[in-house]
Chains A and B, each alone.
Chain A
Amino acid sequence: MQNPYLPYPVRIDEIVVETEDKNLKTFKLVFLNKEDEEKFNYKAGQFAELSIAGKGEIPIGIASSPVEKGFLKFTVNRAGVVTTHLHSMKEGDIMGVRGPLGNWYPWEMLEGKNILIVGGGFAFTTLRSSIVYMLHPDNRPKFGNIDVVYGARTPGMLLYKDELIQWEKRDDINVHITVDTTDDPDWKYNVGFVPPITEQKAPQGDENTYAIVCGPPIMIKFTQPVLEKLGYDHEHIIMSLENRMKCGIGMCGRCGIGKELVCKDGPVFTLAAINRTPREY
């Protein structure tokens, strides 16, 4: 019987400090055993439990993309016991990864559709995974227009800045970068909260357009009416939820919202599905 609680051993290959407050780091992890990497077959939108012996586990969205081979990437905010310890770890250290866990953005259904991605702050990780996936030459023809609205508090708080700038220059994706405020006179992108920028820049919703939204609760709260105004149906608004988790495989019981378990039946839900469950997230 395969033990779904047993993490695969991995080595920290590279650590990148992402933001100016140094609270977000991206960890590039390499499997110690090649066969584990093959078993770890994931799709954009899934998460994994990062396991540190002696500290515990923490569920984190996978920031690398299935089209990137040979490693996994996780961008981790320093917050609790496990993430604080993770931030103190060094390249070369051994830890564990358990997954992939949960469902993913519904790529089969999204084929042939226009995609709007709305992200805020450090919830951009699985959205990065998704963008890299869609922009891969094998996949780009499968999707219509791709628009991205991504905002952070300041320019220094944006994740994956180099990639954002690259995407911004491409003509097969419309990237709208925004910050709440900046005192940088040379800032050439948008200034403003994500919801109003979405209202200005995002395409109208129609039956061929889906929005994938991921961000802090306050951003989600104010983005939802904007998307409704733009004509997005609740079935066409796709969100990724977070809840406290332990097992990640639907057994320990804490992440439930109604009969759905965020870890196993989610984390990805349509807004329509979320509206059918108690708001316990």
Chain B
Amino acid sequence: MKVINIDQKKWTKGIDTLGSSYKLIGPVAEKDFHTFEILQQGQLPDMSFTNTRLSPKEVVFPQSEDMFVYSLDQNDEDCNILKEAPKDYSPRVVLGIRPCDARAMRLVKLNFDTEQYKDPYWLRLYEATTFVGLACDQPCATCFCTSTGCGPYHEEGLDILLAKDGDGFKAKVLTDKGRQLAEASGWTDTADDGGAFENARRAAEAGITSKVATDRLRQMDTLELYGADFWEDVSFACINCGTCTYLCPTCWCFDIQDEVHGKKGKRMRNWDSCMFPIFTVHTTGHNPRGTKLHRVRQRFMHKLKYFVDKYDQGIMCVGCGRCVQQCPVNIDIRRVCDLMNSYGSENACAAQG
């Protein structure tokens, strides 16, 4: 297979060159963990990271973003009329996004890019972004990407896939966007790798030892699963914080808020979470998901059943393991997925005799 060799010198130089035509975003070491941040001139992404604490979904779906601006001054001609908020959609590149997080963007796209409606904010940022992925050669114990239709060298949603090679990288260009970026950065040194890339992929996939079964979710009856007896046990520990949803690369729920300061106002959107009681509460006070059990069940049913049924593209989870690692009370999606996937199977076997 033809790959592009990028040694350390070319890497540094290429990134420096890219800075003039792209906004650069990459992993940066914080106090205890890495986050994706805008890189300053001369700053290199820290490619030694395992994965970031927060997913890079913020690159295309900021936690808080402006939608519209307006004037509330009666003397203004366009008082009370909403105008598009000024936004920056200039080209940008995410360096070092993990394949799971890139695939997550494709899953989220199903929500924001529909036949009937297109979410302009998400889509414009997505289109403005080139995704340079970094293959995972050392997965965590909580990684179960290979069970979710993804993998440590998965290419979906990426424009370039990098794999570590000594202190440099081997690169596989996957799209036109990727080609443009490779040219702009001067990463053009193509050579045959003698199958090394493929071998590394196989080795990395074999390194993912955590597995979940999802094969029966589709055929499962929604209401039976909804009424399953394990939800009380699963949800008991939950404290209904938003950690799992905010860290998740595939969670997309949001809230729309107006904020006024003096005579100027803006309509903005912020991440929201199905874990919060106020997410669904009606003005009357009635809450269709009024208990913790309702909300925990909603999160898992959405990811592992409703989404599966709605799009037929597998589960709404890429196996990044962030929620498993950071849940304050250790609610583990792998355990819940297994409970759901195997629900009623004993009876089914009994029925078959």
Please give the residue numbers on chain A whose beta carbons come within 8 Å of chain B beta carbons, in ascending order: 1-7, 9, 51-57, 79-80, 83, 93-96, 217, 242-244, 246-247, 249-259, 264, 276-281
* Interchain CA distance A55-B7 in the complex, whole Å: 55
Residues of B contacting A80 with CB < 8 Å? 283
B280 partner, pick from A3, A96, A249, A254, beta carbons under 8 A: A254
Complex: chain B residue closest to A6, CB-CB: B82
* Interchain CA distance A80-B119 in the complex, whole Å: 27
Q: Does B238 interact with chain A (Cβ within 8 Å)?
A: no
* Interchain CA distance A278-B305 in the complex, whole Å: 12
A96 touches B258 (CB 8 A): no
Residues of B contacting A52 with CB < 8 Å? 80
B82 touches A96 (CB 8 A): yes
* Interchain CA distance A281-B116 in the complex, whole Å: 24
B288 partner, pick from A5, A9, A259, A280, beta carbons under 8 A: A280
Q: Please classify the interface of chain B as helix (H, G, I), strand (E, B), loop, or mixed, using the class held by over half of its residues.
A: mixed
* Interchain CA distance A256-B222 in the complex, whole Å: 14
* Interchain CA distance A11-B43 in the complex, whole Å: 52
Q: Mark B313-339, 1 if CB is under 8 A from A, else 0.
A: 000000000000000000000000000
**Considering the complex of A and B, which 5 residue pairs feature the smallest CB-CB distances, nearest first?**
A253-B253, A259-B306, A80-B283, A94-B80, A280-B288
A54 touches B67 (CB 8 A): no
Query: Would A281 and B68 be within 8 Å (CB), given that A79-B283, A246-B256, A259-B307 are in contact?
Result: no
22 inter-chain pairs at a CB distance below 8 angstroms, sorted by A residue, are A5-B68, A9-B82, A51-B82, A54-B260, A55-B258, A93-B80, A95-B80, A244-B280, A246-B254, A246-B256, A250-B111, A251-B111, A251-B112, A252-B255, A254-B253, A254-B279, A256-B306, A258-B226, A258-B301, A277-B223, A279-B288, A280-B298
Query: Would A259 and B309 be within 8 Å (CB), given that A95-B80, A242-B282, A280-B288 are in contact?
Result: yes
Q: Does B84 interact with chain A (Cβ within 8 Å)?
A: yes
The smallest C-beta distance from A110 to any residue of chain B, in angstroms, reads 23
Q: Please classify the interface of chain A as helix (H, G, I), strand (E, B), loop, or mixed, using the class held by over half of its residues.
A: loop
Residues of B contacting A51 with CB < 8 Å? 82
Residues of B contacting A7 with CB < 8 Å? 82
The smallest C-beta distance from A106 to any residue of chain B, in angstroms, reads 17
Complex: chain B residue closest to A242, CB-CB: B282
* Interchain CA distance A278-B301 in the complex, whole Å: 11
Residues of A contacting B254 with CB < 8 Å? 246-247, 251-253
* Interchain CA distance A4-B112 in the complex, whole Å: 11
Query: Would A277 and B280 be within 8 Å (CB), given that A6-B84, A252-B256, A254-B272 are in contact?
Result: no
A1 touches B274 (CB 8 A): no
Query: Would A53 and B114 be within 8 Å (CB), given that A243-B280, A278-B223 are in contact?
Result: no
Interface residues of B in 268-301 (CB under 8 A from A): 269, 272, 274, 279-284, 286, 288-289, 294, 298, 301
Query: Would A9 and B81 be within 8 Å (CB), given that A1-B123, A256-B302, A278-B223 are in contact?
Result: yes
Q: Mark B207-226, 1 if CB is under 8 A from A, else 0.
A: 00000000000000011001
Residues of A contacting B280 with CB < 8 Å? 243-244, 254-255, 280
Residues of B contacting A247 with CB < 8 Å? 254, 256
* Interchain CA distance A93-B72 in the complex, whole Å: 12
B226 partner, pick from A242, A264, A278, beta carbons under 8 A: A278
Query: Which of B84, B279, B306 has the most CB atoms of chain A within a 10 A radius of its CB?
Result: B306
* Interchain CA distance A204-B236 in the complex, whole Å: 48
* Interchain CA distance A247-B256 in the complex, whole Å: 7
Complex: chain B residue closest to A77, CB-CB: B283
A251 touches B119 (CB 8 A): yes
Residues of A contacting B265 with CB < 8 Å? 53-54
Residues of A contacting B305 with CB < 8 Å? 259
Q: Does B79 interact with chain A (Cβ within 8 Å)?
A: yes
The smallest C-beta distance from B300 to any residue of chain A, in angstroms, reads 13
B120 touches A3 (CB 8 A): yes
Q: Does B257 interact with chain A (Cβ within 8 Å)?
A: yes
Complex: chain B residue closest to A1, CB-CB: B120
Query: Which of A56, A257, A276, A280 has the most CB atoms of chain B within a 10 A radius of its CB?
Result: A280
The smallest C-beta distance from A133 to any residue of chain B, in angstroms, reads 23
Q: Does B22 interact with chain A (Cβ within 8 Å)?
A: no
Q: Does B343 interact with chain A (Cβ within 8 Å)?
A: no
A53 touches B258 (CB 8 A): yes
